[in-house]
A and B are shown apart, each in its own frame.
Chain A
Amino acid sequence: MVPITTVHYLVVAAALFVLGVIGVLTRRNVVIVLMSIELILNAVNLNLVAFSRMWGNLHGQMFAIFIVVDAAAEAAAGLGILIAFFRNKETVNVDEIDLLKW
């Protein structure tokens, strides 16, 4: 078997990223759209850690940790907005959240 190189990790991360983009673009449930954003952030993290390994220093891992912090903040704020919205409109459907289109 071929040894695992950085390129293998890049391909996995690209697949996860594209899956997240598909989820953001096509799903109608806001909760699943937020989960797809988490998928995208994870793909970026995997890339950063793989590059950290490739260069032999720790800066990529530091960035990955800061992105985890950022994902936690984003999830808290996004779900707060979602609950506030659900209280007003009784829906979690993206297609019905169109107030700014008018």
Chain B
Amino acid sequence: MNPALNSALNPGMTPVATPWFFYVLAGLAVLSGVAVITRRNAVHAALALIVTLLSVAGLYLMLYAPFVAGVQIIVYAGGIMVLFLFVIMLVNIERASKDRRFNRIWPVGLAASCALMALFVSAIVKGSHINDMFRDRGIPLPESSNTQQIADLLYGQAGKMGPYTFAFEIASLLLLVAILGAVIMTKKKI
């Protein structure tokens, strides 16, 4: 973010995250995102989505969030995408790959999405130029203790519950419900 802040945080070290790196990762993410929604073959789309997920993980590293980047690679690229590839191979892709790719009202969808993008861009421009909404506040946290601080928030410290301990338990319950639901729905006879 701010080069002066970075050099104040770790003196004697130039930041690795150069602007050039950001533009490469962002371009890779957006280009493979386009490939995800335009490829005819679902396997190709899944592979392009993996490239997008890995570039977003690189962007997390540039934002000094190494734990989220690791979770992104392990859970998304390693877990969810394998699930997707399994399902693509289970369902019949022969017919779907010969079909039309887009539905009949695709111009409407495209126009609505362009309007949404215009809304986003105008909001971002307004926020950054007129109200100065997106300036950096506070000192960025050091990334060396990132995982430990996240663990303190999740599990609490010194025997006390952290602010997110209850949400963590609820998330585990959500995963249990999702597993049970997936197993029951894919069974032939319950």
- A residues whose Cβ falls under 8 Å from a Cβ of B: 1-12, 14-23, 25-29, 31-32, 34-36, 38-39, 42, 45-46, 49-50, 52-59, 61-62, 64-66, 68-77, 79-84, 86-87, 90-95
- Determine whether the beta carbon of B103 is less than 8 Å from that of A69: no
CB distance from B69 to the nearest CB of A (A): 9
- Determine whether the beta carbon of B106 is less than 8 Å from that of A64: no
- Determine whether the beta carbon of A86 is less than 8 Å from that of B91: yes
CB distance from B179 to the nearest CB of A (A): 7
Flag B84-125 by CB within 8 Å of A: 1 or 0 each: 100110111101100111111110111011101100110010
Residues of A within 8 A of B19 (CB): 1-4
The verdict on A62 contacting B153 (CB below 8 Å), with A11-B121, A73-B175 known, is yes
- By size class, the interface of chain B is 35 or more
Q: What are 19 A-B pairs at a CB distance below 8 A?
A: A2-B19, A6-B1, A7-B124, A18-B114, A20-B37, A26-B110, A27-B101, A35-B36, A38-B49, A53-B136, A54-B1, A55-B138, A61-B146, A66-B167, A68-B68, A68-B75, A70-B171, A92-B92, A93-B96
Q: Of the candidates A1, A46, A70, which one forms a contact with B174 in the assembled complex, judged by CB atoms under 8 Å apart?
A: A70
- Determine whether the beta carbon of A55 is less than 8 Å from that of B137: yes
- B residues whose Cβ falls under 8 Å from a Cβ of A: 1-3, 17, 19-20, 22, 26, 29-30, 33-34, 36-37, 42, 45-46, 49, 52-53, 56, 59-60, 62-65, 67-68, 71-72, 75-76, 79-80, 83-84, 87-88, 90-93, 95-96, 99-106, 108-110, 112-114, 116-117, 120-121, 124, 128, 134-141, 146, 149-150, 153-154, 164, 167, 171, 174-175, 177-179, 181-186, 188
CB distance from B71 to the nearest CB of A (A): 6
* Alpha-carbon gap, A92 to B97, bound state (A): 11
- Determine whether the beta carbon of B33 is less than 8 Å from that of A31: no
The 5 tightest CB contacts between A and B, nearest first, are: A56-B138, A25-B109, A73-B178, A80-B182, A23-B37
If A3-B2, A5-B136, A16-B52 are given as contacts, then 7 extra A-B residue pairs at C-beta distance below 8 Å, sorted by A number, are: A20-B33, A42-B52, A53-B1, A71-B80, A72-B178, A73-B174, A77-B185
Residues of B within 8 A of A49 (CB): 59-60, 63, 65, 68
- Determine whether the beta carbon of A14 is less than 8 Å from that of B63: no
- Determine whether the beta carbon of B52 is less than 8 Å from that of A3: no
* Alpha-carbon gap, A21 to B108, bound state (A): 12
